[in-house]
Structure 1
Amino acid sequence: MARPGAGGALLRRLRVLAQLPPAARGAPPLGLRGPAAAAASASYGTSITSAKIKVNGVPLHYKQTGQGDHAVLLLPGMLGSSQSDFGPQLKSMNKQLFTIVAWDPRGYGQSIPPARDFPPDFFERDARDAVDLMQALKFKNFSMLGWSDGGITALIAAAKYPTLIHKLVVWGANAVVTQEDLKLYNAIRDVSKWSEKIRKRMEEMYGHEYFAKTCEAWVDGISQFADMPDGNICQHLLPHIKCPTFIIHGGKDPLVPQFHAEYLHKHIKGSRIATPSSKKGDHFNS
């Protein structure tokens, strides 16, 4: 549950951390230079499809772009959407290597109705929706890039559907809720205390009433995990994640202390982690 609306800058950094090809970092594709590079960039695949498809009885909105063999699903955070959280990635990721899908979970973005709710299994429900969306779009297997709540959803999906998930990148995610976390969550319950910039963006997308009501409901929804043994969200599933996993922690994340990223790294076998303590020039810690 990283800071709402903070995904853009971190995701731009992610393209470097994940060591994507030069084209994904804004360089001309396939090593072209000069006029050839300009022509290639102009036709590199800027078209982004926006559509809805019914999944588990709910019309889910998604954006899709690219024609690469490697399918990637981008999962937004709390109150986020495909456009608000992943606009730069939909525009700039390498569209020859990747087919990129960014979705709006039920009750978020343009996947309204239904209104967003938070039953005890809402993360499992999102994981099922996400996987079933990609299956409905005819992707046999795919990677997941998830941040905040989307990261938790991706962790659950990777554990429960191991034959479908190729690779996993998560940031701003946690597997448990502690008493320290509860204090951080309740500090954002009142949206009038949010920064004006982020609050205005959310109100433009949802309207004030839906935004405020859904934020309060999210705080109540995520807080219910504190009543579980050890504050468990998905800690019991981490040993079942078999795909290559990259965990990122942002040093200025105000909602997710670094120990959560370290916990994920410790309990996901073979995972790699990037934190502010990583050595300069070395983006991965074993």
Structure 2
Amino acid sequence: MWSCLGGMAWFSVGKSLLGCRGAAQRAGTLTMSACSSASSGRQHVNGVDLFYEQTGRGKHAVLLLPGALGSTRTDFGPQLRSLNKESFTVVGWDPRGYGRSRPPHRDFPPDFFERDAKDAVDLMKALGFHKFSLLGWSDGGITALIAAAKNPDLIHKMVVWGSNAFVSQEDLRLYNMVRDVSKWSARMRQPMEEVYGAHLFAKTWEGWVDAIAQFAQRPEGSICMELLPLISCPTLIIHGEKDPMVPSFHAQHLLKHIKGSRLHVMPEGKHNLHLRYADEFNRLVEDFLEE
């Protein structure tokens, strides 16, 4: 749906991947599945306990980065379930203050994207991955851009979609349209209210809108524009041509400023293209990562 708020899972709530669970210990509290190579747990990173899910047994590690207020379960069910488990080891995580990485409650200091990027990279290192690829949706895409720019030796490849490196006046208008969650349909609110409760969801969402709007006050509205030339990993940008909340100029800007990047446009794709067209998206990503 809209830029940076990829976590809005009214589109699709990722189904539980970890049926027939058995208990084991690894990297903190961990649940291992007896019937698959799936696990979940909490890892202490940078002063907080970050929830993660891991599936697959491939040599190529991939980190999934969710959108605003998002989590592995709400944002990446089809990817955790269906990405090739022989080729990839796929890790989904809940950024601090989101989903099951609570406490603490989410806050939005000026550097919250940089904080998420550091948490994401340090989580993967704590889990024993020394080189890995990034799949970032919306806010998670912004986090991935920052992580790739600041850790060129660690990031193998990157895929981002529904993401932006700056906030324009048009973006501000779109964010303000969705600020008041009481005006959303019950169907749209339900998944997030199930995770956070109605009051905390509304409060956290308003906090996000205020935080993202502040970038518009920076020169050129930059979130991470100055970092794009530092990205050296192969990068695939995916854009849904019918995305109602991420204008195509954002994808074009990334393409222009990330050296060697490529852009794939999905004509029917909206903001949730990886959920709505999961099979097509997963094939596209697998082909890119395996090149």
Fold shared by both chains (TM-score > 0.5): yes
Q: Does 1:78 align with 2:58?
A: no
TM, length-normalised to structure 1 = 0.82
Q: How far off its partner does 1:115 sit? A: 0.6
Q: Does 1:100 align with 2:90?
A: yes
Residue matched to 2:135: 145
Q: How far off its partner does 1:165 sit? A: 0.3
When the two chains are superposed, the root-mean-square deviation of aligned CA atoms in Å is: 2.2
Letter in 2 for 1:275: V
Q: Does 1:165 align with 2:169?
A: no
Mapping of residues 1-286 of structure 1, within 5 Å: 1=4, 4-5=8-9, 46-276=36-266
- Aligned equivalents of 1:51 and 1:126: distance in 2? 18
Any runs of at least 4 consecutive aligned residues in structure 1 with deviations exceeding 6 A, and if so which? Answer: none
- Aligned equivalents of 1:253 and 1:126: distance in 2? 25
Q: Do 2:53 and 2:92's aligned partners in 1 also have CA atoms closer than 8 Å?
A: yes
Go from structure 1 to structure 2 and tell me whether the alpha carbon gap of 1:113 and 1:50 turns closer, same or farther (over 3 Å shift). same
- Aligned equivalents of 2:54 and 2:267: distance in 1? 35
SS at match of 1:50: strand
Q: How far off its partner does 1:205 sit? A: 1.1
Go from structure 1 to structure 2 and tell me whether the alpha carbon gap of 1:142 and 1:7 turns closer, same or farther (over 3 Å shift). farther
Aligned residues: 248
Q: How far off its partner does 1:68 sit? A: 0.4
Q: Which structure would you say has the larger RCO, counting Cα contacts within 8 Å and 6 or more residues apart?
A: 2
Q: How far off its partner does 1:5 sit? A: 2.1
Gaps of 5+ in 2: 15-34, 269-279
SS at match of 1:167: strand
Higher strand share: 2
Letter in 2 for 1:249: H
Gaps of 5+ in 1: 12-44
Letter in 2 for 1:137: L
Q: How far off its partner does 1:252 sit? A: 2.7
Deviations 1:146-179, CA, capped at 9 Å, x for gaps: 0010000000000000000000000010000011
Q: Do 1:244 and 1:270's aligned partners in 2 also have CA atoms closer than 8 Å?
A: yes
Letter in 2 for 1:186: N
Q: Do 2:37 and 2:57's aligned partners in 1 also have CA atoms closer than 8 Å?
A: no
Go from structure 1 to structure 2 and tell me whether the alpha carbon gap of 1:251 and 1:277 turns closer, same or farther (over 3 Å shift). closer
Letter in 2 for 1:212: A
- Aligned equivalents of 2:185 and 2:95: distance in 1? 24
Residue matched to 1:20: none
TM, length-normalised to structure 2 = 0.81
Q: Do 1:2 and 1:253's aligned partners in 2 also have CA atoms closer than 8 Å?
A: no
Q: How far off its partner does 1:253 sit? A: 1.9
Deviations 1:86-144, CA, capped at 9 Å, x for gaps: 11111111111000000000010100111111110000000000000000001010000
Q: Do 2:138 and 2:163's aligned partners in 1 also have CA atoms closer than 8 Å?
A: yes
Q: Do 1:144 and 1:168's aligned partners in 2 also have CA atoms closer than 8 Å?
A: yes
SS at match of 1:247: strand
Letter in 1 for 2:155: I
Q: Do 2:238 and 2:266's aligned partners in 1 also have CA atoms closer than 8 Å?
A: no
Q: How far off its partner does 1:273 sit? A: 0.3
Between the aligned residues of both structures, percent identity stands at 64
